[in-house]
């Protein structure tokens, strides 16, 4: 089997299991208010613009089919992408894991002589812990996306794929700016326009004086070698055009075969993510253009466990993800616990199925259970990832306690022997004598009934009913 993402680097593993982290998050009333307001707002916006598209379901089906085709011939498409990028003046690097990717990027920055980089919002660089690697090498990374900047200045971690600072309200953001943003006006208010203006002033000089940028990529077109980044603020456009050197770190699954395929995703992504008809800034570039934009371009193709995901015929559909966050915005579990409880840079339903596969299920064994299996995520996903199916698939792979295995074996044996099964049904009926109290289970099984009731046994079993007739 291909290697999974290495431990000790990056942001794919939490410090504690999901249930423990979730209990602490549930006790934070302000966090729950922030999350409830933000996710409800995004849901409403997204639902309104999706309703305008008469062929939305056909677009979803097309996106799913394109992604399935990509994974079926991924080596071929990646080699085609490498050839096209190289022909256009770029340099392609292959990184097997986070450690290798961090080393490649750090060496490239050092070669320029720069001690600072500006960054476009990138899940891949957060996944591998690039900021920490750069800082260890004496290089200062500056996040330029507003929400990522809030997280960085607050010495925090992202809690949402699209809106990393969704767990913060504007009063908290003001306090972070006053505490950590150099040169901020002490009279700063918590009005959104004032906060944005403060960030703009802080970043403008950084944009103009930094010669190296690091980005992710939403898509890469194999037939032309073109990379695409979509965003809403314009900071990405600044990073992709002003510096002398541009380094892009991209997961290998982000490739699409043709421009016509890209057309589908540029319709799906903005409506499912930000609730917009199109992204305000869609930036595309192909290699190096003399005299225009960065004059050195490096593309780092990142595996970091993706080949292991690809090897699972069921689990590979998690690689269809286009990082829209639609599943987070409809998930009742995420809305109540927030993203930090998942312990990974990929929170919510997609994180519950992607992170365990990237790291190996044993390293994130609690995440497949971070769901009620309500199916809202499947309905919302613009590329039709069957997340409930994946959750059940991964639960089957989680290391189970010996006591649970013994109990399941005993249940299977009982159900395989009609006389035993009939006796068990008669015994279960005795719980009716205890009323509702009898609808729980004794320790150590009581953990299951602490939050749910056992179904009330019927007065008459089906076998008994059938025998009478």
In the chain, what are the domain boundaries?
18-307, 406-468
Res 162: pLDDT: 85
Res 432: pLDDT: 60
Kindly report, residue by residue over 266-325, the tens digit of the pLDDT: 999 999 999 999 999 999 999 999 999 999 999 999 999 999 999 999 999 999 999 999
Q: Which residues fall within 8 angstroms of residue 448, CB to CB, at 6 or more apart?
A: 441
Q: Which residues fall within 8 angstroms of residue 151, CB to CB, at 6 or more apart?
A: 143, 157, 158, 164, 165
Say if CB 372 and CB 52 are below 8 A apart.
no
Rg over alpha carbons for the chain, rounded to the nearest Å, is 25
Q: Positive or negative, the Cα torsion across 251, 235, 41, 165? A: positive
Phi, psi for 321 (deg, rounded to 5): -55, 135
- Using 50 as the pLDDT threshold, list the residues of the chain that sit under it: 438
Which CATH number does 18-307 carry? 3.40.50.10420
Q: Which residues fall within 8 angstroms of residue 204, CB to CB, at 6 or more apart?
A: none
Res 206: pLDDT: 93
Please tell me the pTM assigned to this model.
0.90
Distance CA 410, CA 31 (A): 43
Distance CA 248, CA 214 (A): 6
Distance CA 5, CA 8 (A): 10
Res 313: pLDDT: 96
Res 433: pLDDT: 55
- Within 13 Å, how many C-alpha atoms sit on residue 86's CB side? 8
Res 442: pLDDT: 72
């Amino acid at each position: 089997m291909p290697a999974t993402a290495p431990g000790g680097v990056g942001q794919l593993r939490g410090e504690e299991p999901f249930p423990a982290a979730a209990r602490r998050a549930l006790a934070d009333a302000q966090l729950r208010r922030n999350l409830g307001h933000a996710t409800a707002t995004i849901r409403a916006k997204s639902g309104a613009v999706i309703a305008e598209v008469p062929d939305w379901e056909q677009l979803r089906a097309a996106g799913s089919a394109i992604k399935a085709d990509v994974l079926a011939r991924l080596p071929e498409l990646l080699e085609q992408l490498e050839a096209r990028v190289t022909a256009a003046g770029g340099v392609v690097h292959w990184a097997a894991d986070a450690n290798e990717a961090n080393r490649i990027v750090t060496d490239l920055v050092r070669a320029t002589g720069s001690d600072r980089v500006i960054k476009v919002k990138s899940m891949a660089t957060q996944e591998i812990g690039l900021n920490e690697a750069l800082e260890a090498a004496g290089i200062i990374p500056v996040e330029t996306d507003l929400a990522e900047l809030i997280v960085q200045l607050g010495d925090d971690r992202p809690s949402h794929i699209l809106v990393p600072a969704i767990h913060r309200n504007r009063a908290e953001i003001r306090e972070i700016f006053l505490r950590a943003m150099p040169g901020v006006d002490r009279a700063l208010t918590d009005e959104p326009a004032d906060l944005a203006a403060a960030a703009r002033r802080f970043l403008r000089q950084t944009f103009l004086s930094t010669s190296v940028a690091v980005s992710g990529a939403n898509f890469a077109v194999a037939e032309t070698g073109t990379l695409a980044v979509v965003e809403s603020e314009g900071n990405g456009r600044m990073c992709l055009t002003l510096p002398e050197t541009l380094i892009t770190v991209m997961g290998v699954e982000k490739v699409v075969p043709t421009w016509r395929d890209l057309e589908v995703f540029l319709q799906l992504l903005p409506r499912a993510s930000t609730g917009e008809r199109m992204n305000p800034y869609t930036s595309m570039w192909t290699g190096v253009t003399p005299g225009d934009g960065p004059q050195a371009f490096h593309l780092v193709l990142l595996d970091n466990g993706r080949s292991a995901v690809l090897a699972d015929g069921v689990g590979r559909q998690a690689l269809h993800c286009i990082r829209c966050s639609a599943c987070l915005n409809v998930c009742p579990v995420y809305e109540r616990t927030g993203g930090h409880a998942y312990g990974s840079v990929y929170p919510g339903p997609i994180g519950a199925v992607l992170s365990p596969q990237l790291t190996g299920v044993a390293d994130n064994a609690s995440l497949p259970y971070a769901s009620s299996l309500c199916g809202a995520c499947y309905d919302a996903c613009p590329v039709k990832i069957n997340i409930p199916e994946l959750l059940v698939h991964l639960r089957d792979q989680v290391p189970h306690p010996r006591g649970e295995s013994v109990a399941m074996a005993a249940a299977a044996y009982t159900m395989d022997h009609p006389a035993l099964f009939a006796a068990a049904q008669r015994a279960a009926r005795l719980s009716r004598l205890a009323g509702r109290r009898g609808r729980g289970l004794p320790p150590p099984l009581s953990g299951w009934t602490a939050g749910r009731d056992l179904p009330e046994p019927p007065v008459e079993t089906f076998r008994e009913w059938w025998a009478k007739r």
